[in-house]
Structure 1
Amino acid sequence: MKKHLLFFFALLQVAILPAQPLLETGGKEMPDEWVDNVTHHRVMRLVRRQGINLSFYFHNNPFVGNEMVFYGSNERQKESYTGELKNKAQEIYNLNVKDKQLYVVNLENLKVRRLTQESGKIQGEIVHAKSGKVYYQCQDSVFSVAVKTGKKELIFVFPADFKASITTINADASLLGGAYATEEEKEISKRYPEKSQYFNRIYEARLPRTLFTIDIKTRQLQKIFTDSAWLNHVQFSPTDPNLLMFCHEGPWHKVDRIWTINVKTKATPKLIHKRSMDMEIAGHEWFSKNGNYIWYDLQLPRGQTFFVSGTDLKTGKEIKYQLQRNEWSVHYTSAVDDKTFAGDGGDPGSVAKAPDGQYIYLFKPQGDHFEAERLVNMKHHNYKLEPNVHYSPDGKWIIFRANFEGFEGIYAVEIEKRRTNDSQ
């Protein structure tokens, strides 16, 4: 009898939930919650503070328990996002907005708290879930701030001859990691601020870069590896505190991109995937949550056949799942168990040249390919701002950022469809 009552109560709760309107996503300001009229999945505005709000890059963990760390600014920029108009989301992400700060949102009640009070520009999307701390950089100084208490601590100040940037933290929160760029490289970036201007110039310059770690306890900096290549995309394994992944940045069809190095032994870096044909590309790599795989976007060749591929770090064996052109995404991510994946789609100007690819996607491996489900129609989103998908901690939502309302915000789409009595 008790079980029947509980089941009835659960049904009653669903029945009395207010119905969300069935709407086209974007092109105007949206309500806090709605059902996408193309995909029939529930979408919600996850962060409801005024101003610009941006979730983290796709491979940077933003979660501590049931809270999510994000960047926010007090600006609220509404634009048409057409043509070559520079969008404010790029500006805040590239540290050109002075009041950009770190905030945290509670995923249960959506309450927002501000974590940082810096007067200078800050950078770094580094959250360690177990310690509950966020690490960030303000000019030459590295700080931590505790998510629960807001307690701030100075960790390290870069010396005058080694002005570098932190990008990652290892599994046991003992080391921060990053890459150092020469002053010559920084001058190229300064003189040519747009990616289309600096990208090939930095790659062709072949200037040295150095991977480094900072011991959080001893405050000691250690240089790990230097190469005359554009070392970038630096990420620690989520489970092995000594394993660091990095890439050889540059035009993807010209580089064997994905590498790992043991920061303790400093042994010769290991190539994770070697290109096998002309114009093959592999990139936007990330670790699986259990640290067993490195996953990446693979195209054989560029712009023709599309896969999400993974390399088993123990055996070196590669597996790959094929996607259709419209399903290719700027970035992908994987669930905790690697049984589903998500992607943020792409517009016709992206590498896939997809005529109908502007969606947030859910992917389920089926043999050698993905079975795709569209979650959010992104036709009104300008892909100058990359959506960068994340699974919520409970695995029930996909979190992303978008500008389809005319300003930058953080949203979540429910993976499971709900039966509703929606109306236009």
Structure 2
Amino acid sequence: MYRNLRSLVPALALSLLPAMFAQAQAPMKPSVTGAVPPKTWVDKDTGHRVWRLTDEPGSSGFYFNVNAYTPDLKTMVYTAPDGIHGYDLATHKAWLIVPNPPRPAPGHDGDPIAQGYDFRFGNVHAIIAGRVTNSVFYSQADPATRTVTLYKADVYTKKVTRLCDLPKGMSVATINADETLGAGTMNDKQDTSQDYGAQRRNPAGQSGPLVQPLNKGEMMEQRLAARIPLTLYTIELTTGKLHPLLHSTDWVNHLLFSPTDPTLLMYCHEGPWQKVDRIWMIHTDATHNTLIHKRRIAMEIAGHEFWGLDGKTIWYDWQPIKGQDFYLAGYDLATGKRTAFHMDRNDWSIHFNLTKDLDVFTGDGGDVGQVAKAPDGEWIELFHPHTLNTTGALNDPDFFQPGYFTPEHLVNMKWHDYHLEPNVRFSPDKSLVIFTSNMFGPAYVIAVETAKATDVKPGELISTPELASKYNPKEPTDTHAIAK
């Protein structure tokens, strides 16, 4: 897949930036069988109604911790092979906001990817939905010069505003809360001859930001060991002026600005989780570089960090002993208070998400090849949190305050191939959990109602895996492992 480590490193560093690259792939059929999957059904195993929100085969939601909603909370932004789309959550109407340029004519095998066409140069790449304006921020590279430019587009009028060009070798992964800064990394020693690598593709032929490569564990180890000097920067969106925050030979990744504080940036030391101190935050004046979770046990892991919607808490997957005990942990930035909600092995998820008032959480499950090795973990889950009464117990401000999750199955995901991560999120009104799934072959954005279905019509109650198998007869593989 990669000719040497020099070409592997930039390819992997770019490919793992969350939501940076829209899904780009050869034209796909509505399903493997050619039939269009249904718009709605009720999962027989859970009693919850499921909806297929998008019509474009190969469409995808954003990475789980990247804002996908406009500030008016009316529109969700998603990507598809033809560009960046908006979806009206009330009317269920979708529209193309920013189109991709015309695709090259397919060759003898009909697959531009197989012919070496690199969709990252020319295509639009969604970054995040704005926090202030009803906009989507995106980047696009000139196919001839490969100069990457940042833009924002009004979700409703489609008006595009050019922001600034990026220095060669830099990408922007996140935009701050007041829409004045982007953040990204750049290798200190650029090699303009670098091969940016092949597109990541899952067994259904899909590629994009949510798809995990088959050899991710090997690539993670190699990239960590390479110790490439890099700099973490912010960039002024109106002027393109760079401000260095951090020089490092660690692999810096997963940049995510606070949803409320424009001066606060979270980032991670990437790599196998048991080998790195992962979760960090830093201010945009380059001060207060802070480790959020300090390891105290060998093989302790913490990661897949995300902001609470109010910007007050950082949440993350915490396993005191990797693969043995499972918590969703929270760190309150103002008080230092730590919370830990315990869950069973089968309830662990690759990604978690929550509501603003923290009354309910969600998870996207995982197959037996994931770190939890759960024998029955392939579910979209709803988690009801419970906090334990610690009155009379020895306690300390540094202690984790304990709780646990009561799980509720929402969707049976046994026909989903977890090489494509579902990346769950709640709708703004909490009525839906929204995720991406390839259960029908091509990926679609799908939603499930958080309340039990009460309006089930004849023929609507069906097992989701049974339904999916009619459109995608090939049983998904579940034997790959995601390195942590």
TM-score, normalised to structure 1's length? 0.83
| Aligned length, in residue pairs | 369
Please, which of 294, 298, 302 is the counterpart of residue 274 of structure 1? 294
Q: 1:106-137 CA deviation, whole Å, 9 max, x = no partner? A: 11222221111343123233111421111111
Q: Which residue does 1:364 correspond to in 2? A: 384
Which shows bigger deviation, 201-210 or 248-257? 201-210
Write out aligned runs for 1:161-176 (5 A).
163-176=169-182
Determine if the alignment matches structure 1 residue 286 to structure 2 residue 288.
no
| Cα deviation, residue 218, structure 1 | 3.4
Equivalent residues of 2:313, 2:331 under 8 A apart: yes
Write out aligned runs for 1:288-303 (5 A).
288-303=308-323
Write out aligned runs for 1:252-267 (5 A).
252-264=273-285, 266-267=286-287
SS in 2 for 1:71: strand
Q: 1:61 to 1:192 in 2, by over 3 A?
A: closer
Please, which of 47, 50, 54 is the counterpart of residue 43 of structure 1? 50
Equivalent residues of 2:223, 2:251 under 8 A apart: yes
CA–CA separation in structure 2 for the residues paired with 1:150 and 1:169: 19
| Cα deviation, residue 269, structure 1 | 0.9
Q: 1:28-50 CA deviation, whole Å, 9 max, x = no partner? A: 964211100000001011112x3
Q: 1:370 to 1:268 in 2, by over 3 A?
A: same
SS in 2 for 1:34: strand
Q: Which residue does 2:74 correspond to in 1? A: 66
CA–CA separation in structure 2 for the residues paired with 1:331 and 1:295: 11
Q: Which residue does 2:136 correspond to in 1? A: 134
Matched AA of 1:397: L
CA–CA separation in structure 2 for the residues paired with 1:383 and 1:186: 34
Q: Which residue does 1:52 correspond to in 2? A: 58
CA–CA separation in structure 2 for the residues paired with 1:395 and 1:386: 21
CA–CA separation in structure 2 for the residues paired with 1:178 and 1:358: 34
Q: 1:238 to 1:136 in 2, by over 3 A?
A: same
Matched AA of 1:170: N
CA–CA separation in structure 2 for the residues paired with 1:357 and 1:187: 40
| Cα deviation, residue 419, structure 1 | 2.0
Matched AA of 1:70: Y
| Cα deviation, residue 423, structure 1 | 3.6
Q: Which residue does 2:97 correspond to in 1? A: 115
Equivalent residues of 2:166, 2:240 under 8 A apart: no
| Cα deviation, residue 364, structure 1 | 1.2
Please, which of 192, 209, 217 is the counterpart of residue 238 of structure 2? 217
Q: 1:5-33 CA deviation, whole Å, 9 max, x = no partner? A: xxxxxxxxxxxxxxxxxxxxx99964211
Q: Which residue does 1:104 correspond to in 2? A: 86
Equivalent residues of 1:121, 1:138 under 8 A apart: yes
Equivalent residues of 2:233, 2:242 under 8 A apart: yes
Determine if the alignment matches structure 1 residue 381 to structure 2 residue 416.
yes
| Cα deviation, residue 354, structure 1 | 0.4
CA–CA separation in structure 2 for the residues paired with 1:376 and 1:29: 20
| Cα deviation, residue 268, structure 1 | 4.4
Determine if the alignment matches structure 1 residue 354 to structure 2 residue 374.
yes
Equivalent residues of 1:188, 1:198 under 8 A apart: no
| Cα deviation, residue 332, structure 1 | 0.5
Q: 1:70-118 CA deviation, whole Å, 9 max, x = no partner? A: 1101xxxxxxxxxxxxxxxxxxxxxxxxxx5111111122222111134
Matched AA of 1:316: G
CA–CA separation in structure 1 for the residues paired with 2:437 and 2:67: 18
Matched AA of 1:223: P
Q: Which residue does 2:348 correspond to in 1? A: 328
| Cα deviation, residue 191, structure 1 | 8.6
Q: 1:186 to 1:40 in 2, by over 3 A?
A: farther
CA–CA separation in structure 1 for the residues paired with 2:193 and 2:409: 40
Equivalent residues of 1:397, 1:415 under 8 A apart: yes
Determine if the alignment matches structure 1 residue 204 to structure 2 residue 225.
yes
Unaligned runs of 5+ in 2: 1-31, 102-121, 142-147, 201-212, 388-402, 460-484
Determine if the alignment matches structure 1 residue 229 to structure 2 residue 250.
yes
Q: 1:38 to 1:190 in 2, by over 3 A?
A: same
Q: Which residue does 2:357 correspond to in 1? A: 337
CA–CA separation in structure 2 for the residues paired with 1:285 and 1:189: 27
Write out aligned runs for 1:182-193 (5 A).
182-183=189-190, 187=194, 190=197
Equivalent residues of 2:84, 2:126 under 8 A apart: no
Equivalent residues of 2:131, 2:179 under 8 A apart: no
CA–CA separation in structure 2 for the residues paired with 1:423 and 1:117: 40
CA–CA separation in structure 2 for the residues paired with 1:192 and 1:396: 35
Equivalent residues of 2:164, 2:238 under 8 A apart: no
Q: 1:32 to 1:354 in 2, by over 3 A?
A: same
Please, which of 128, 143, 146 is the counterpart of residue 151 of structure 2? 143
CA–CA separation in structure 1 for the residues paired with 2:340 and 2:346: 18
Equivalent residues of 1:233, 1:247 under 8 A apart: yes
SS in 1 for 2:197: helix
Q: 1:318-362 CA deviation, whole Å, 9 max, x = no partner? A: 110011000010100111112211100000111100000100001
Please, which of 159, 166, 185 is the counterpart of residue 158 of structure 1? 166
Question: What's the % identity of the aligned pairs?
Answer: 39
SS in 2 for 1:204: helix
Q: 1:203 to 1:184 in 2, by over 3 A?
A: farther
Q: 1:29 to 1:152 in 2, by over 3 A?
A: closer
CA–CA separation in structure 1 for the residues paired with 2:199 and 2:161: 35
CA–CA separation in structure 1 for the residues paired with 2:53 and 2:373: 30
Matched AA of 1:142: L
CA–CA separation in structure 1 for the residues paired with 2:281 and 2:170: 20
Matched AA of 2:362: A
Q: 1:420 to 1:159 in 2, by over 3 A?
A: closer
Matched AA of 1:126: I
Matched AA of 2:150: V
